[in-house]
Copies of this chain bind each other. A is one copy, B any other.
Amino acid sequence: MKANIKKIAVLTSGGDAPGMNAAVRAVVRSSVYYNLDVYGIYKGYDGLINGDIEQLQVRSVSNILSRGGTFLLSARSDEFRTKEGRAKAYKNFKANDLDALVVIGGDGSFTGADVFSQEYDVPVLGIPGTIDNDLAGTDFTIGYDTACNTATEAIDKIRDTASSHERLFFVEVMGRDAGFIAVNSGISGGAVAMLLPEHNWGIDDLIRRLQRGASSEKASNIVIVAEGCKLGSAYDIAAKVKTQLDYFDIRVTVLGHLQRGGSPTTSDRVLASRLGVAAVEGLLNGQSNVMVGVVNSNVVYTPINEAVKTIKKIDAEEFRIAKILSI
């Protein structure tokens, strides 16, 4: 059963992620393909509240496929969390004759979308765009693969200097409460250990592991610390290790925001392209208040509240592999 959708709008919300532009491009181009009008809302929900809305054409999304960030701009909107904010947003939604809304973002953005959709009976479709990969309903989120590669390239560079000086480096990577970037860039960067939010690896385990490496004359060591790690920041953990293993020459690097930028990888561009098309096709097929994802190579639509509430787990297998390889 086809929904009666003629005019859709798209926005990017929350922390930006590489591939968001590719997703917007796919939403715009597939809208044109299906003869829909498509509008861009600038600065996330704030743009909907303030009427910062503009019709987009195929031309509007030329040459953005390869670019990091989001040309629609993004923000976390406090006002949209209020009933009044959402009322203003809906007013602009109707004033522009919009039939549906595509939201590219993470869980905070989707929670807002969920509330809005229910309050005003607006068809909303979420596309998972966050480097953290912390959304259920999709194997991967847009931006995650790029962030992992950015982290890996940084670790490779740090490895050069760690090896040259036989040092121990603590490298803090992003991921909020999830350890996906940490475990993947850790395996990929040959880390001796990864301290994740999801595991209760204590300082003592880490110290034993470092001692064992030292006794076998392992020349350099890199420990990955996820930003959500409960043992503290990379600086905290480095300080604790130093008190017990003072023969190590220790350095700390916090990779920071560069993990959010950069030209998206092939995987992220292809994923963003698929999800952008699937979002438009989902709306045309009557989907509403769902997030579109790719699970086992297939497009699936998951109710937004389910995608947000379910906690996605790190693959236990990957963590097991990491332990075997870091002997």
Chain A residues packing against B (C-beta within 8 Å): 12, 15-16, 18, 20, 25-26, 29-30, 32-33, 58, 62-63, 65-70, 73-75, 139, 145, 148-152, 154, 156-161, 163-166, 169, 184-185, 187-190, 216, 219, 251-263, 265-267, 269-270, 273-274, 277, 296-297, 299, 315, 317-318, 321, 324-325, 327
Contact = CB atoms under 8 A, between A and B. Distances in A.
Contact of A267 (B30, B70, B252, B267): B267
A30 B321 CA distance: 9
18 contacts: A25-B325, A33-B327, A66-B159, A69-B161, A69-B163, A73-B163, A74-B164, A74-B165, A148-B267, A156-B263, A158-B261, A160-B260, A161-B260, A161-B261, A253-B254, A270-B318, A274-B318, A297-B315
Contacts of A75: 165
A258 B158 contact: yes
Contacts of A269: 152, 187-188
B321 A66 contact: no
A274 B317 contact: yes
Nearest to A323: B33
Which of A188, A262, A297, A299 has its CB near the most chain B CB atoms (within 10 A)?
A: A188
A283 to B, nearest CB: 15
B160 A68 contact: yes
Contacts of A256: 251-254
Q: Which of A145, A258, A265, A296 has the most CB of B within 10 A?
A: A258
Contact of A266 (B148, B260, B274): B148
Output the residue of A75, A164, A190 with the most chain B CB within 10 A: A164
Contacts of A165: 16, 73-75
A34 to B, nearest CB: 9
Contacts of A317: 274, 299
A108 B187 CA distance: 30
Contacts of A145: 266-267
A132 to B, nearest CB: 14
Nearest to A325: B29
A75 B139 CA distance: 36
Given A184-B270, A277-B325, A253 B261 contact: no
A208 to B, nearest CB: 16
A274 to B, nearest CB: 6
Contacts of A62: 219
